[in-house]
A and B are shown apart, each in its own frame.
Chain A
Amino acid sequence: MMTIRQTLGDVSIASVETPPEYEGGSLGLTPTKAALKRARKHHGLKIGFGILLVMAVFALFAPWLAPHDPYMQNLSLRMLPPVWNEGGSWEYLLGTDHLGRDYLSRLIHGARISMAIGLGAASIGAVIGVTLGLLAGYFGGWIDQAVNFLVTCQLAVPSLLLIMALVFVIGQSVTVVIFVIGVTHWVFYLVVTRSATLRLRELDFVAAANAMGCSKFQIAVSEVLPNLTNQIMVIFTLEVAVAILNEATLSFLGLGIPSPLPSWGLMIAEGKTAMFFQPWLVILPGIALFILVIAINLLGDGVRDVTVTNRRN
C-alpha cells in the first residue's frame, strides 16, 4: 500500500492510518466528551463549522432566501453589473448573467448543487471503499489481490479524464455527476478500512467470535466499523471537498451539471467569454467555491485534530 500512500500524497492519510488513541483519561472524561472539549478550543474547526452552517442554511432555504427566481430570464436586463459598479442596481445585488437571471439567486441555489454533489459523491465513495476494504482485509487471498488490482487501475488513470469520459458517454445530469465522481473516489476509504480489518483479523477476540458461530463478515462489520467512524468521518469531509471541486472543474469544462442548473463551475464557464469585461461573472462563483471548500477542509482538519490525538505538533 506504499504506492497508494504516496499517490494520494497527503499526510492527512498517514495520520488517519494510525489507530486513534484517546486521551483525557486523567480527567475522567469519556473519549467523546474529551473530543468535544478539544473541539471548543479549536479555532479552525469553529470557523469551518460556522461558515458551513451559514452556507447550509442558505442551501436548504434557498427558495425563501434568494431574492429572485434563479431560472427567471429577462433578456432585456442582460449582464447588469453588481450594485457597487456603475450601472448596478439594488434590485439585482450581484448583477445578472447573460440571460438576465439574478446572479445572487443563482449563487444561493448553486450552494445546494455543490453540497448535494459533495455529500452524494462522498457517500457513494464511502460505501464502495468501505465495502471493498472490508472484503479485501477480511478475506485476503485473491479477493484482496483483485481489489488491489482495481485500486491500481483506479489510481493509474488520470481521474479527471476518466470522469470526463464517463460523463461524456453516459450523459450529463446531476445524478450522473454524483455517481461518476463517487465511483472514482473510494481509494482513501478502502486503504483505511482494509488496514484496520487486517489488524483486527490478527486479534484473538475475532477468533473467539468466530468460534461462537458468528459469520465472518458479521464480525468484520460489527467490530471494524465502529472503530473506524472517526477516520471515515475525516476522509468523508475531505472527499466532500474534493467532489465539490471536481464537479466545478467538470462543469467548467462543459462535462458536468447541465444548464440551466446554477452550478458554480458552470457559471464560471458561462462567464468566461465575457471575463475581461464583466469579470464579476467569473470572480463571484469562484469565491463562493473557495469559501465552501475551505470551510469543509477546516472542519475536516479540525475533526481529525480533536479525534486523533497523537499529533506531533
Chain B
Amino acid sequence: MLNYVLRRGFMALLVALTVSFATFSLFHFATDPAQTIAGEDAPQEMVDDIREQYGFDRPVLVQYGDWLGGVFDGDFGKSYFWKQPVVDLIQEHAGVTILLALSSLLVTILIALPLGISAALRPNSWVDRFALSTAVSAQAIPNFWLGLMVIILFAVTFPIFPVSGDATWKHYVLPSLVLGASSVPAVMRLTRTGLLDVLSSDYIRTARAKGFMGYRLILQQAMRNALLPIVSVLAVQLGNKLGGSVVTESVFSMNGLGRLAVESIFNSDIPTVQSLILIFVLTFVLLTLAADLINAWLDPRIRMG
C-alpha cells in the first residue's frame, strides 16, 4: 500500500512539474510581460527598462529554474501585475474559491443524491424519468449562461440575492447553485447506477424477496455499499469545481482563484498563472489520489494492478 501511495505521489509531482513548465514556456514566447508591468500608456524607455530589470531577456529555462527554485523555498515569486508576493495573492483569493467549491459541492449533493436514490429505487417510474431528464437538460445548459439567467431572475427581476461579489453569505447562494448544478448530472447518474448495482445484488434481492426490508433498511444497507464510490467521485468533482470556478467567479465577479487565474492570463502575469496552475494541478492530483486510495482500500485488486 505504501509503495502504491509513493508511486502515485511521485507521479503527481512529475505531472505538476511538466504542466507548469509547459505553461511557463507558452507565455514566455507569446507575450510581453514588461508591457503589463509598465501599463497601457507607458513610454518605450520604461518598458525596456523593466524588461532588463526583471530579466525577461534571459533564456526561458533559466527563468523557469529561478522560479522553481523559489517555489521549493515557499516563495512563488512576485506578481508582475500586482507587484506583491504571489503567496499573499493566493491567500487573499483562496478563501472565496474554497468556500464556493464546498458550498457548490453541498448543492450538488443535496440535488444529485436524493434524485439518484429515488430514481434507483423506482427504475422507469416518473421519478426516474424526471431525474434522467434533469440530468440531460443540466448537461446542455451552458454554465455561464445559467449564471446570467439566475442573475436576471433572482437578482434583478426578484431582487432576493445580490448581483455579484463575495462580501456576505448571500453572495454565495447563486454562484453555488450554478456551479453545483454543473456536477449534478454526473453524480446523479453515478448514484443511480451504483445503487441499482447494489440493489440487484443477490443479498439484497434475497432480503427483499423474503420481505425483510422496508425502504429504511434498504437505504441503510444498500447505501453503505453504494456510497463509498460516490464519496470518491465527489472528491474528484471537488477538484473539477476548482476549474469550474474560473467561469462562475467571472460571471459573478467573485475575487477567487479562478478569476485571478483568468485575469492573470489576460495580464500575462506569469508568476501568478504559474503558481495557480501548480496549485490547481496539485489540488486535483491530491483529490484524485484520495479517491484512488478510497477505491484501493475498497477493492484490493486495484493495488495489485
Contacts and interface: CB of A to CB of B under 8 A. Distances in A.
Given A253-B262, A313-B128, A165 B26 contact: yes
B193 interface: yes
Contacts of A160: 243-244, 246-247
Nearest to B266: A168
Nearest to A164: B265
A160 B149 CA distance: 21
Given A149-B14, A160-B246, A265 B261 contact: no
Contacts of B295: 2, 6
A283 interface: yes
Contacts of B124: 313
* Residue in B149, B156, B265 whose Cβ sees the most chain A Cβ within 10 Å: B265
A294 B284 CA distance: 29
A9 B19 contact: no
Contacts of B149: 283, 286
A245 B146 CA distance: 12
Given A9-B237, A169-B29, A252-B144, A312 B302 contact: no
B265 A165 contact: yes
Contacts of B292: 2-3
Given A169-B26, A170-B30, A313-B124, A156 B145 contact: no
Interface string B270-305: 000100010011001100100110010000001000
A277 to B, nearest CB: 10
Contacts of A89: none
B148 A268 contact: yes
Interface residues of A: mostly helix, strand, loop or mixed? helix
Contact of B247 (A249, A268, A313): A249
A204 interface: no
Nearest to B8: A3
Given A9-B187, A158-B280, A312-B196, A293 B140 contact: yes
Contacts, number: 167
Contacts of B139: 241, 293-294, 297
Contacts of B193: 11, 14, 312
Contacts of A76: none
B123 A313 contact: yes
Contact of A265 (B142, B281, B291): B142
B148 A10 contact: no
Nearest to A15: B193
Nearest to B188: A11
A73 B244 CA distance: 36
A282 B148 contact: yes
Contacts of B225: none
Contact of A9 (B14, B16, B190, B262): B190
A294 B145 contact: no
A248 interface: yes
Interface size class of B (residues with CB under 8 A): 35 or more
B17 to A, nearest CB: 10
A169 B32 CA distance: 11
Q: Interface residue tally of chain A, by bracket?
A: 35 or more
B221 interface: no
Interface string A300-313: 01000000000011
B206 interface: no
A161 B302 contact: no
Contacts of A156: 12, 15-16, 19, 281, 284-285, 288
Interface in B177-192: 183, 185-187, 189-190, 192
B265 A297 contact: no
Interface string A268-283: 1000100110010011
B140 A294 contact: yes
A153 interface: yes
A286 B186 contact: no
B140 A241 contact: yes
Given A9-B183, A152-B11, A158-B243, 5 more contacts: A10-B185, A165-B273, A253-B144, A282-B152, A283-B149
Interface of B: 11-12, 14-16, 18-19, 23, 26-27, 29-31, 123-124, 128, 136-137, 139-145, 148-149, 151-152, 156, 183, 185-187, 189-190, 192-193, 196, 200, 229, 232-233, 236-237, 240, 242-244, 246-247, 250, 261-262, 265-266, 268, 273, 277, 280-281, 284-285, 288, 291-292, 295, 302
Report the 8 A-B pairs with minimum CB-CB distance, sorted nearest first.
A158-B243, A169-B30, A294-B140, A9-B186, A293-B140, A286-B145, A11-B189, A156-B281
Interface of A: 2-3, 6-7, 9-12, 14, 44, 149, 152-153, 155-161, 164-166, 168-170, 241, 245, 248-249, 252-253, 255, 265, 268, 272, 275-276, 279, 282-283, 286, 289-290, 293-294, 297-298, 301, 312-313
27 contacts: A9-B186, A10-B190, A14-B193, A152-B285, A153-B19, A157-B281, A157-B284, A158-B240, A158-B242, A158-B277, A160-B244, A161-B246, A161-B262, A164-B246, A165-B273, A169-B30, A241-B139, A253-B144, A268-B148, A286-B148, A286-B149, A290-B145, A293-B140, A294-B137, A298-B136, A312-B123, A313-B123
